[in-house]
């Protein structure tokens, strides 16, 4: 066998499995993560097919005084609310708004906070000082107040709500990413990468971020839940979703007056929020473990 043929043979024998396949293989072994993923897929499917489950105008928006506050029955699986709207329809349609608030805001603030955090942690110096002091200013204002200020300065709407929540979450992500990057930057393998001439961008994407990903994922998944609740809070004081548009958090706050006599009014959207948060956290934990080759088994 020639040298080349031999190398090809060896290469085949020890062919590297694709990174994504490897991660998926490790993820599949984690039962809890797969349960989370299944629940999450159902939630997404539900919000995508909301129009098939219930008509938006007819069931979720139109008020019907004759059937207000009915308990769950075969007619209305989850009962009806104080305006006679079907709770199942409102929950299904509300999932669109709630889930997109959770993911959109987390995604954007993670992206911006991640870039800022990676750069401040990696470069340090005066740039770090300036950015982090700005973040401290943002952090010193409670996130709900900050979001209120931003929304009321603009105009209450879904887009402005998303922007406001996103801005209020950036400092948290910047801090988390910066601190994990700081622990990684001192390692020898960063210096080794530098010694062979890697550019900063390559070092950050190849060496720094993959080793800092754990805490970032955990923070990210927890934040999805926080964002849904923050969005609900803002909708409640009239700065986000405008009624009668359904949204889980707003449904929850709307129903609080009837909580004593009609507990299912708060239980249904509450469970919806809890389940989505729970499934996302499970996925996040599984993903963190699957991404770390040191935990491979």
Taking the complex as a whole, the smallest distance from the CB of residue 215 to another protein amounts, in Å, to: 15
Q: How many CB atoms lie within 10 A of CB 16?
A: 7
Taking only Cα atoms into account, the Rg of the chain, rounded to an integer number of angstroms, comes to 24
What binding mask, one character per residue, do residues 175-194 give for another protein by CB under 8 A, x or -? ------------xxx-xxxx
Binding of another protein at residue 293 (CB under 8 A)? yes
When asked if residue 125 is in the footprint of another protein (CB under 8 A), the reply is: no
Q: How far is the CB of 6 from another protein (least distance, A)?
A: 9
d(CA 253, CA 232): 8
> How many residues in the shown chain lie near another protein by CB under 8 A?
30
Q: Return the structure tokens found at 169.
A: 């979450």
- Contact 232/247 with Cβ under 8 angstroms? yes
Residue whose CB is less far from another protein, 180 or 223: 180
191-210 positions binding another protein, by CB under 8 A: 191-199, 202, 206-207, 210
- How many whole angstroms separate alpha carbon 219 and alpha carbon 288? 11
In angstroms, the CA 102 to CA 1 distance is 58
7-26 residues in contact with another protein (CB under 8 A) are 7-8, 10-11, 14, 16-17
Q: Calculate the CA 78 to chain-centre distance.
A: 27
> Any idea what DSSP says for residue 76?
S
Residues near another protein (CB under 8 A)? 3-4, 7-8, 10-11, 14, 16-17, 187-189, 191-199, 202, 206-207, 210-211, 292-294, 296
């Amino acid at each position: 066998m020639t040298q080349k043929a031999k190398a090809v043979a060896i290469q085949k024998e020890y062919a590297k499995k694709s990174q994504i396949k490897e991660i998926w293989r490790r993820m599949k072994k984690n039962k809890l993560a797969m349960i989370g993923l299944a629940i999450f897929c159902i939630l997404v499917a539900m919000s995508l097919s909301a129009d098939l489950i219930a008509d938006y105008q007819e069931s979720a928006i139109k008020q019907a005084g004759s059937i207000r506050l009915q308990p769950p029955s075969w007619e209305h699986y989850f009962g009806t609310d104080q305006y006679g709207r079907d709770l199942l329809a409102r929950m299904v349609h509300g999932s669109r708004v709630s889930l997109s608030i959770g993911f959109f805001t987390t995604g954007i603030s993670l992206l911006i906070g991640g870039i800022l955090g990676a750069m401040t942690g990696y470069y340090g110096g005066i740039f770090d000082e300036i950015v982090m002091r700005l973040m401290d200013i943002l952090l010193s204002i409670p996130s709900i107040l900050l979001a209120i200020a931003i929304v009321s300065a603009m105009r209450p709407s879904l887009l402005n709500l998303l922007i406001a929540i996103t801005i209020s979450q950036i400092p948290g992500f910047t801090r988390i990413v910066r601190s994990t990057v700081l622990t990684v930057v001192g390692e020898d393998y960063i210096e080794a990468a530098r010694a062979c001439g890697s550019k900063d961008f390559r070092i950050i994407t190849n060496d720094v971020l993959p080793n800092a990903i754990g805490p970032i994922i955990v923070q990210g998944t927890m934040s999805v839940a926080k964002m849904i609740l923050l969005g609900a809070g803002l909708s409640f004081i009239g700065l986000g979703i405008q009624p009668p548009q359904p949204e889980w958090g707003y449904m929850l706050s709307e129903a609080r007056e009837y909580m004593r006599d009609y507990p299912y009014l708060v239980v249904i959207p509450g469970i919806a929020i809890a389940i989505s948060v729970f499934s996302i956290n499970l996925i996040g934990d599984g993903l963190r473990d699957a991404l770390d080759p040191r935990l491979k088994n």
